[in-house]
């Protein structure tokens, strides 16, 4: 019984697997949330990975009910970039900048007589680590 802990102690840190960097698991993904302000037009939040070849992961989510956060988890890709936008018929789409991985971003989308407007309302780290 005593021999096992003693062997592990003598082996030292070289025998132990190196720990993953803090937040490494979370840094491979990002979460983007969009909240629609009540309005007369339906809004859709969509995204796709744009690269040299077709990529999986495209989505289109209706922003309903108004006032509720609609979120999507985005995975990091080495061969493509995320293109994110909010659309409604008859208006120019609102493009959202690609997220910084390891974070959760919140946007507000609003339709008015002047058009469709999207603005950031918050950014928070994912998990319990701080950048």
Instruction: Confirm whether 65 is domain-assigned.
Output: yes
pLDDT: which is higher, 8 or 110: 110
Q: What is the pLDDT of residue 12?
A: 41
10-24, pLDDT tens digit by residue? 344 343 333 334 444
Instruction: Confirm whether 30 is domain-assigned.
Output: no
User: Is the confidence at residue 114, as pLDDT, over 90?
Assistant: no
For a pLDDT cut of 90, what percent of the chain falls above it? 60
Instruction: Confirm whether 113 is domain-assigned.
Output: yes
Confidence of residue 95 (pLDDT cuts 50, 70, 90): very high
Q: What is the pLDDT of residue 4?
A: 44
Inter-CA distances, 41 with 64, 65, 66, 108, 118, Å: 11, 12, 11, 15, 15
- Looking at the 3D structure of the chain, how many domains does it have? 1
Instruction: Confirm whether 96 is domain-assigned.
Output: yes
- The pLDDT of 102-108, averaged and rounded, is 95
36-66, pLDDT tens digit by residue? 999 888 999 999 999 998 888 999 999 999 9
Q: What is the pLDDT of residue 86?
A: 97
Strand order in the sheet with 115-125: 69-75, 29-36, 103-112, 115-125
Instruction: Confirm whether 105 is domain-assigned.
Output: yes
Alpha carbons 71 and 101: distance in angstroms, whole number: 15
Instruction: Confirm whether 111 is domain-assigned.
Output: yes
First-to-last CA distance in the chain? Answer: 42
Asked whether the beta carbons of 42 and 88 are under 8 A apart, the reply is yes
Instruction: Confirm whether 3 is domain-assigned.
Output: no
User: Is the confidence at residue 100, as pLDDT, over 60?
Assistant: yes
Instruction: Confirm whether 9 is domain-assigned.
Output: no
Alpha carbons 58 and 60: distance in angstroms, whole number: 7
Phi, psi of 69 (to 5 degrees): -75, 130
In which domain, by residue range, is 56 found? 41-131
């Amino acid at each position: 019984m005593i021999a096992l802990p003693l062997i592990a102690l003598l082996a030292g840190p070289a025998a132990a697997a190196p720990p993953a960097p803090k937040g490494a698991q979370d840094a491979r993904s990002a979460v983007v949330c969009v909240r629609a302000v009540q309005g007369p037009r339906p809004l859709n939040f969509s995204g796709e990975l744009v690269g040299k070849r077709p990529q999986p992961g495209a989505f289109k989510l209706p922003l309903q009910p108004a006032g509720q956060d609609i979120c999507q988890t985005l995975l990091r890709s080495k061969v493509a970039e995320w293109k994110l936008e909010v659309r409604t018929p008859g208006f120019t789409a609102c493009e959202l900048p690609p997220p910084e991985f390891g974070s959760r971003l919140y946007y507000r989308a609003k339709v008015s007589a002047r058009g469709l407007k999207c603005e950031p309302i918050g950014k928070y780290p994912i998990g319990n680590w701080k950048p």
